Amino acid sequence: MAFKGGKRRAQREMTSDELAASYEQMIDTWVPKTALGTMVKKKEITSMGAVMASGIPIKEAEIVEMLLPNMSEEVINVGRVQRTTDSGRRMRFRVTAATGNNNGYIGIGIAKGKEVGPTIRTAIKRAKMNIKEIKRGCGSWECGCGNPHTVPFDVEGDCGSVRVKLSPAPRGVGLIGSETAKKVLTLAGVSDAWVKSSGRARTTLNYAYAVLDALVNTNYMKLNETDNKNLSIVRGATSKKELKAEDDTKEQTAG
């Protein structure tokens, strides 16, 4: 019954010129409705880290689109919801979508609607407004590569009856867990991790939220400077330049 998330990938990929043009057009036509939006459009705020630090809720998807121009998105689940009305039964879709920059930011959104296409777009928009900042690190003494490719330490999350534990893995291990966990972790920029889960009702939706919850919980571990250094912890996005030179070669062999 559930649709596979890969469906959207079948669409033609836009060229980088087309992407840049649609980005410019989005910014040109965007009329901010909130104070935060206005500051972002005027470039008074120029990073997602600064938005997160302000603690101001994001009420416009364009804020995220402008500050994180290279977002990816995945449909996590499309469910059917039946509703009985006076005129009979009506079918609606419930779409769960996730979005992230593959580099420290991840959000999940849900929308309901009569048609799948527009409902997916609404869910993605909501996922953007729910964007969260996470911490990553090298996290494993077995690895010691010094790049933020995994969760910085063991971290747990839950949603409903689903519990998830993410553990750091050395570079090249990949994501060892369900397809849903892989989608969420990849969008967040975690490329190596072990995922363990438990719970009776392991629905895709609760599972995705439990992984997100665990990622958000990376922010609540008390750490000192030594931990931050030893585990190569970064919060939010890294610029590629910050990564150590050996990273390029490792990435190729990790495939």
Q: Which residues bind Zn ion (CB under 5 A)?
A: 138, 143, 145, 171
Nearer to Zn ion, 138 or 185 (CB): 138
Q: How far is the CB of 140 from Zn ion (least distance, A)?
A: 6
Q: How far is the CB of 171 from Zn ion (least distance, A)?
A: 5
In the DSSP assignment, the letter for residue 33 is: -
Nearer to Zn ion, 138 or 205 (CB): 138
Q: How far is the CB of 145 from Zn ion (least distance, A)?
A: 3
Closest among 234, 246, 236 to 143, alpha carbons compared? 246
Rounded distance between C-alpha atoms, residue 41 and residue 31, angstroms = 9
Helix (H, G, I), strand (E, B) or coil at 200: coil
Q: How far is the CB of 3 from Zn ion (least distance, A)?
A: 35
CB 150 within 8 A of CB 168: yes
User: How would you classify residue 17: left for phi > 0, otherwise alpha for psi between -120 and 50, otherwise beta?
Assistant: alpha
Nearer to Zn ion, 104 or 109 (CB): 104
CB 64 within 8 A of CB 23: no
Nearer to Zn ion, 103 or 204 (CB): 103
Nearer to Zn ion, 109 or 168 (CB): 168
Both tokens assigned to 70: 């290279």
Rounded distance between C-alpha atoms, residue 195 and residue 199, angstroms = 14
Q: How far is the CB of 251 from Zn ion (least distance, A)?
A: 12
3-class SS letters over 145-169 = CCCCCECCCCEEEEECCEEEEEEEC
